Amino acid sequence: MSDIAAAAAKVPLGRRIRRFMSDRPLVPLVILLILLVLLLQILRPGIVNERWIANTVKFAIPLAILAGCQTMTMLTGGIDLSVSTVATMAAFIMASQAVEHHAAVAIAIALMPALLIGLANGIGVGVFRVHPLIMTLGTSLIGTGCLQVYQRTVIASGTRIPDFLTWLGTGLTFGFPNALALFIPLAALIVFTLHRTGFGRLLYAVGDNEKATRLSGVRYWQVIIALYVVSALLAGIAGLLYVGLIKAPSSLSLAEPLLLPSVAAAVVGGTSIFGGRGGYTGTIVGALILTVLTTLLTILQMPEGSRRILFGLIVLAVTAAYLRIVEDR
């Protein structure tokens, strides 16, 4: 016993910290998040209060849902670049249909294109083996075109956002954003699916070693189609939530600015873009980090240009540092 203890003590402290962090990859992320919040508090004393936290969470939630799409697709070694288009389509179609129909009907109609795009993505990637990056970029291009055509047919009827979406998007209950009522079950479901169900394990397996997975009897295309349909539906839900938050239903580039951050959030959160490694909890923290970062850069009153530069550099630095910590075994 004492030998083992002595051996453990001989390992240098730095290495032990790293080993601890690689065993618990969430810890460095949470530390980074806390550091960013502290930095914010130092730069603008008093900014960090209940309202600010609620606001940050509110804006992080749509991003976190979209980043969830990226996390799941990345686990299989893919990526879904159509999420922003799907989200925008869902938001716009819902807002224009809600003028005539009941909100529930409008939402059901709005999620149809999401379903179709997800299905197209899944068939392209799963059956025809197109690279996910290309396939989803292509369907997002088609989706944008369809949306533009659709916009002209409904431009006269105007748009309306159902009250409960506004309530869900912007409202607070006892200081907690109402969006959490949607997000917490959703996130729990995603985490549960990824870790405790066969489908989740299949995602990891496909990403880790596709050939072995196929040889052990898994129908690759079924998994992939299900995955991209789920991803598109999630993106549609995120779009509905986002339009309740932003309240600009007529914008055809509503969720576009969220696309690259959603990829970044998943990557910062420790999901490997090559598949097989990562999880949703990291992604949620990643989305929070990116949201706090955006606030930080806005507060520093940087011009848009330098903000983007810093954003890019930080994403790169965090990913590189994270890789070092996790791979150093």
Partner 1 sequence: MSQFVRRQGWVSGLIVLFVLLLVVTRLIQPGYGAGDFGSLMRAALPYAFAVAAQTTVVLAGGIDLSVAAMMALTSVAAASMMNGASEEFAALVVPFVLLIGLTLGALNGVLIVVTRVPDIVVTLATLFVLQGAALLVLEAPGGAAAEWLKALIVGTVPIPGMPDAVSAWMPKALFLLLISLLVVWVPLQRSRLGLSIYAIGSSELAAFRSGVPVAWVRIAAYAGSGLFAAMGGLTLTMSTGIGAPIPGPYLLASVAAVVLGGVTLGGGRGGLLGPIVAVFVLRLVRTDLTLLAVDPNVTSIIEGVIMVVVVMLGAFIAMKGRPA
79 near partner 1, judged by CB under 8 A: yes
CB of 175 or CB of 305, closer to partner 1: 305
Site for partner 1 in 229-268 (CB under 8 A): 260, 263-264, 267
Q: How far is the CB of 63 from partner 1 (least distance, A)?
A: 15
HSE-CB of 239 using CA atoms within 13 angstroms:
35
Q: Which of residues 143-162 bind partner 1 (CB under 8 A)?
A: 144-146, 148-149, 152
- Contact between 142 and partner 1 by CB under 8 A: the answer reads yes
Nearest C-alpha neighbor of 235 from the set 262, 265, 199, 202:
262
- Residue 124 sits in the site that holds partner 1 (CB under 8 A): yes
Compare residues 170 and 319 and give the one whose CB is closer to partner 1.
Answer: 319
Counting contacts by CB under 8 A, is residue 320 touching partner 1? yes
CB of 134 closer than 8 Å to CB of 110: no
- Contact window for partner 1 (CB under 8 A) among 131-139, 193-201, 212-220, 224-232: 131-139
For residue 154, give the nearest of 87, 98, 104 by alpha carbon.
98
The pairing of strands 172-173 and 176-177 is: antiparallel
Stretch that binds partner 1, among 31-39, 121-129, 159-167, 169-177 (CB under 8 A): 121-129
112 binds partner 1 (CB under 8 A): no
Question: How far, rounded to the nearest angstrom, does the alpha carbon of residue 44 sit from its chain's CA centroid?
Answer: 28
Query: Is 312 a residue that touches partner 1 (CB under 8 A)?
Result: yes
Q: Which residues contact 309 (CB under 8 A, 6 or more apart)?
A: none
Cβ distance to partner 1 smaller for residue 167 or 311 = 311
Sheet strands (E) in 95-245: 172-173, 176-177
Question: Is 134 near partner 1 (CB under 8 A)?
Answer: yes
Of positions 137, 191, 246, 326, contacts partner 1 by CB under 8 A: 137
Which helix (H) or strand (E) element contains residue 103? helix 103-122
Size of the site for partner 1 (CB under 8 A): 44
Assess 131 for contact with partner 1 (CB under 8 A). Answer: yes
For residue 125, give the nearest of 116, 114, 134, 113 by alpha carbon: 134
What type of residue is 48? V
Least distance between partner 1 and beta carbon 142 (Å):
4
| Cα 241 to Cα 118: distance, rounded to the nearest angstrom | 19
Q: How far apart are CA 80 and CA 70, in angstroms?
A: 6
Residues in the chain: 329
Pair 71, 269: CB distance under 8 Å? yes
Nearer to partner 1, 32 or 240 (CB): 32
3-state secondary structure of 128: coil
Binding string, 265-304, against partner 1, x = CB under 8 A? Answer: --x----xxx----------------------------xx
Q: Which stretch binds partner 1 (CB under 8 A): 13-21, 137-145, 185-193, 283-291?
A: 137-145
Residue 296 CA to residue 317 CA, distance in Å, equals: 17
At its nearest, how many Å lie between partner 1 and the CB of residue 169?
27
Residues 182-201, one symbol each (x = binds partner 1 by CB under 8 A, - = not), give --------------------
Output the six-digit token pair for 310.
């810093």
Amino acid at 245: L
Residues that bind partner 1 (CB under 8 A): 79, 120, 124, 128-131, 133-135, 137-139, 141-142, 144-146, 148-149, 152, 260, 263-264, 267, 272-274, 303-313, 315-316, 319-320, 323
